[in-house]
Structure 1
Amino acid sequence: MRISPLYRRPSWQRFFSGMAVGGAISWVIFLYIYGVWQDRHIYTIKKQADDIRELNNDILIWQQEYKEINKRNIEQLTVQKINIKITNSGKLNLDTLSVFETEESVKDDISMMLAKDIETVYKSKELIKKIIENKVVKINNKRYKLHVQEIVFYTTLSIQLEIDYDS
């Protein structure tokens, strides 16, 4: 096997040495460009990972707030408490203990309305009224009848009653 005599000509020597130097320079440029490109992508990926982590945290916070708001809305849309008030007890000279016991007895009679939604309670307002007005209360050996003066439907069911002698 024989090597061609082209290695002795200076023009070919310059050509081959130029190819070697050009290859080395182009390799260095390629490595530089590839390294810069990789740095940019690594930075972008890290930034996106941080954004995803923050957005996931925001989603968790929003979901917790959403659940709390739903829970509050459910509580607000149901009857939580019943208030009964007899307005004219002073007119009949009734003692406060008897009035309190009467209010508690009425509250016990309509306690089935607790934890019901307001719409259902509103639809059964006539039933509530009849339950209260058909009740005869015995205080100090006298019979009294209750009359509904006002009913307010909200998370607290407020009822104002008047008490009169039973005829």
Structure 2
Amino acid sequence: MRIPPYYRQASWQRFFAGMAIGGVISWCIFLYIFGEWQEEYSMKIEKQEEDIRDLKNEKKIWQEDYNEINKKNKELLMVQEINVKITNSEKYKLDSYTVFEIEESIKEDISVLLAKDIDTAYKSRELIRKAIENKTVKAHEKRYELEVREIVFYTKVSIQLHIKLAD
């Protein structure tokens, strides 16, 4: 079998030369377009990576702020102080030192509320009320009972008491 002698005819030579030149030109055009696309995509990927880094840093900052705010809120939602006030001490002519001692003894009795969350303290309000009202206080050789008038729960627990003579 023999290959036909097309290489001798000028029209076939021009045709094959045109195909070769066309192939080279189309390959150059392909490389140019592909290079432009690759450059565009690599720039886009680089920009996206930078955006991702920025967003991760921003997310980290937001999370730190969020955790810090949560810690502050958690502290705010805990009982930090107990205030006890006897409102009718003048009726029994008690001096301020005696009133102070009574208030401090009540604070000592309910000091377990300190550093507890407000919800737990609020749920134990009846127990606190009974603990205070069942306590008999001795001052100036007289025995006094305490009556809880008001309890306010927040970061400070405020308790208002009335004092009366024990039977």
Output the TM-score relative to the length of structure 1. Answer: 0.80
Aligned to 1:31: 31
Larger deviation: 52-61 or 65-74?
65-74
Aligned to 2:50: 50
Larger deviation: 72-81 or 84-93?
72-81
Aligned pairs (5 A) from 1:38-117: 38-117=38-117
CA–CA separation in structure 2 for the residues paired with 1:43 and 1:73: 44
Larger deviation: 146-155 or 10-19?
10-19
Q: Percent identity?
A: 62
SS at match of 2:92: coil
- Amino acid in the other structure paired with 1:128: I
CA–CA separation in structure 1 for the residues paired with 2:119 and 2:22: 86
- Amino acid in the other structure paired with 1:26: S
- Amino acid in the other structure paired with 2:152: V
CA–CA separation in structure 2 for the residues paired with 1:102 and 1:66: 43
Larger deviation: 140-149 or 127-136?
140-149
CA–CA separation in structure 2 for the residues paired with 1:8 and 1:91: 135
State the Cα deviation string for residues 55-83 of structure 1 (Å, max 9, x = none): 22233233223323433443344322211
C-alpha RMSD over aligned residues:
2.5
Aligned to 1:132: 132
Aligned residue pairs total 164
Which ranges of structure 2 fall in alignment gaps of 5 or more residues? none
SS at match of 1:91: helix
Aligned to 2:159: 159
CA–CA separation in structure 1 for the residues paired with 2:15 and 2:160: 110
List structure 1 runs of 4+ shifted beyond 4 angstroms: 4-9
